Amino acid sequence: MAQKAETAATGIIPSARTPERLEISNLSKGFRRSGGDLVGAVSNIDLTVSSGEIVVLLGPSGCGKSTLLRCIAGLEEPDDGRIEIDGRVAFDSSRDFMASPDKRNVSMMFQSYALWPHMTLRENVAYPLITRGTAKVAARKKADDYLELVGLAGLGQQYPGSISGGQQQRVALARTLVSDPSVVLFDEPLSNVDAKVRVQLRRELLRIHAELGFAAIYVTHDQDEAMGIGNRIAVMREGQIVQLAPPVSVYEYPSTRYSAEFVGAANMIDATLVSSTASDVTFTSALGEITAKPETVWAGHSSVPAPGTDVVLMVRPEYCGLAEGAPADRGTANVWEADIDGSLYAGSRTEFRCTAGGISLSAWVVGSPAGLQKATRGSFSIPPSAVRAIEIGAATND
Ligand SMILES: Nc1ncnc2c1ncn2[C@@H]1O[C@H](COP(=O)(O)OP(=O)(O)OP(=O)(O)O)[C@@H](O)[C@H]1O
Ligand SMILES: [Mg+2]
C-alpha cells in the first residue's frame, strides 16, 4: 500500500485511462523453410486481452509463441487476420494495412537483458523516451521514477556491467514500461535468472502490473510461473491455442490429453462408461470398476455420453493415495492392489511409480514415507472426485 502511494506521487500512473486492450482475430503467420516447406507458425488465433490482465502462453518449443508476440509488436507481418490495440487497428489483412512497431502502444521484453553497456542505467531506461522525442530532462526524471518502481532507486548512475543479472533484468523491466505501453509482451523474461531471484522478480512484476494495469502476454516454459502469474493460460500446440482458461481450470479440468500432460503430471486410464446418475458415475477399465462424481468428471463437457462410450480418464498423481500392503477390503471403491515399481524423492513429496491391472500409474505422497519406499506391494487409491473425463469417444484419442 505504501508502495502504491509512493508510485502515485511520482506520477507514473497514467492519468487518462484508456480502454487498453488487445484484440486478435483469425491471425495466421507461416514461414517458408529453405527447402520450400511452409511452416504454419501461428494458425487462426483469436485472443482478447483486457487491461489489467496477464495471459500466459504455454507450449513446447516451436509452437509459435514468439511469432505471435512478434506479430503483435509489428516485428513480423502476419499473412492473415486482424490485430487491434487500444481500439485502433494495428494490422488488417483485408485492408492490406499494417502499422509500424513505433505506431503501436506496445512494449516487448526479452530473455536477454540487451542493455547498452556504455550507457548508465538511467540512460538505458530513458532511451525509449528519448527516441520518441521526450526532452532529456523529463526523460531522465521519468527513468529515475521507473528505476525506483523496480527497486533500484539511487542506482541510475551505475553501468550495466557493475550490477547483478537480476538487477539487470529489473532495469530491462523499467525500460520496457517507461513509455506507458498499454500492451506489454514478455518473451521468457526471467528464464536467465536463478530460481530464487526469478520467484522474487515474478512477485514484483505482479505488484507493478497491479499498479500500472497494462494488458500483458507472458511467455514461459515454467509451469509454476504460468500458474502463478497468469489470469488466464493459453495452452498452445502447433500454432494454435488449444485451451484458454484460468490456471485452476487448465490444471484441474484440462480440455484435452495434450493440455493435461503439458501443465503437469497425469495418470491416464482408458475406460468405458457403464452408467452416470445424479450422484455417481461408473466406468470399467483394466483396473476394474472406477467410480467418479458427475459434477467433476464431466466438467467442461457439454453433455454426458451414452453408456458404452469409451473415454480417457485423467487423475493427477498428487490426488492418488498409496498405502503399504494389500487393500483391507477388496470391495472398496477405487482401491486396487498395485506393484510398487520405484520411487523418486522430490523434497516436498515422494513420487511412486506403480503398476495395477497392467497400467502404469503414479502417486505422489507427501514427505518421505520410509515404509512405502521399501515396499514392493501396496494399495493404490483414487478419490472419486479426482477423476476427470479427458477424451470422450475413441476418435479424439491422440
Ligand atoms: N524467421 C523464420 N523463418 C523460418 N521459420 C521460422 C522463423 N521464425 C520462426 N520460425 C518457425 O516457426 C515456428 C514457431 O517458432 P517460434 O519462434 O514462434 O516458436 P516458440 O514457441 O517461440 O519456441 P521457443 O519456445 O523455442 O522459443 C518454428 O517451427 C520455427 O522454426
Ligand atoms: Mg520463443
pLDDT band at 125 (very low <50, low <70, confident <90, very high): very high
Mean per-residue pLDDT over the chain, rounded: 90
Q: Which of 174, 118, 107, 170 is nearest to 143 (CA)?
A: 174
Ligand 2 centroid–CA 297 distance in Å is 35
CA of 218 to the centre of ligand 2 (A): 11
Cell of 27: 491471425
Instruction: Count Cβ atoms below 10 Å from residue 258 Cβ, excluding itself.
Output: 20
Residues with CB under 6 A from ligand 1: 31, 39, 41, 59, 61-67
What does the pLDDT read at residue 14?
43
Residue 195 Rama label (left phi>0; alpha psi -120 to 50; beta) = alpha
| Residue type present at position 295 | E
Check whether 331 has a pLDDT greater than 80: no
Ligand 1 nearest-atom number relative to CA 63:
21
> Is the pLDDT assigned to residue 34 strictly greater than 60?
yes
| 62 CA distance to ligand 2 middle (Å) | 7
Residue 394: pLDDT band (50, 70, 90) is low
Beta carbons of 17 and 42 less than 8 angstroms apart: no
Q: Are strands 232-237 and 88-92 parallel, antiparallel or unpaired?
A: unpaired
- Ligand 2 geometric centre to CA of 64 (Å): 7
Give the residue, by CA position, lying nearest to ligand 1 atom 3. 31
Is the pLDDT at 210 greater than 70? The verdict is yes
The mean pLDDT value for 376-392 works out to 95
Top-confidence residue, 10 or 381 = 381
* Angle between helix 2-10 and helix 136-149 axes, rounded to 10 deg: 170
CA atoms 250, 209, 162, 164: torsion sign = negative
Say whether pLDDT at 45 is over 60.
yes
**Does the pLDDT of residue 9 top 70, yes or no?**
no
User: At 66, is the pLDDT very low, low, confident or very high (cuts 50, 70, 90)?
Assistant: very high
What percentage of the chain has pLDDT greater than the value 70? 93
CA distance 248 to 352: 24
pLDDT at 7 over 80: no
Supply the pLDDT for residue 33.
85
Residue nearest to atom 12 of ligand 1 (CA): 41
pLDDT of residue 393 exceeding 90, the answer is: no
d(Cα 330, Cα 333) in Å, to the nearest integer? 8
Give the ligand with the smallest distance to the CA of 40: 1
**Ligand 2 ion local residues (Cβ < 5 A):** 66
What angle do the packed helices 136-149 and 121-131 form, to 10 degrees? 130
Percent of the chain's residues with pLDDT above 90: 75
- What secondary structure does DSSP assign to 121-186, as a single string? HHHHHHHHHHHTT--HHHHHHHHHHHHHHTT-TT-TTS-GGGS-HHHHHHHHHHHHHTT--SEEEE
**Which ligand 1 atom sits nearest the alpha carbon of residue 188?**
27
Nearest CA to ligand 1 atom 4: 31
* Polymer length in residues for the chain: 398
Choose which residue among 29, 42, 63 to substitute to test ligand 1 binding: the one with the highest number of ligand atoms within 8 A of its C-beta: 63
* 17 pLDDT more than 50: no
Instruction: State the average pLDDT over residues 34-53.
Output: 92
Question: So what's the pLDDT on residue 284?
Answer: 97
Decide if pLDDT at 166 tops 60.
yes
Q: Kindly list the structural domains of the chain, giving each domain's residue range(s) and its CATH number in brackets, ordered by start.
A: 2-105+180-252 (3.40.50.300), 265-396 (no CATH)
Confidence category of residue 113, pLDDT binned at 50, 70, 90: low
Ligand 2: centre distance to CA 192 (Å): 14
The residue among 304, 195, 262 whose CA lies nearest residue 57 is: 262
Between strands 106-109 and 183-187, the pairing is: parallel
pLDDT of 112 above 80: no
Task: Give dist(CA 283, CA 384) in Å, integer.
Answer: 11
pLDDT at 1 over 50: no
Task: Report pTM.
Answer: 0.88
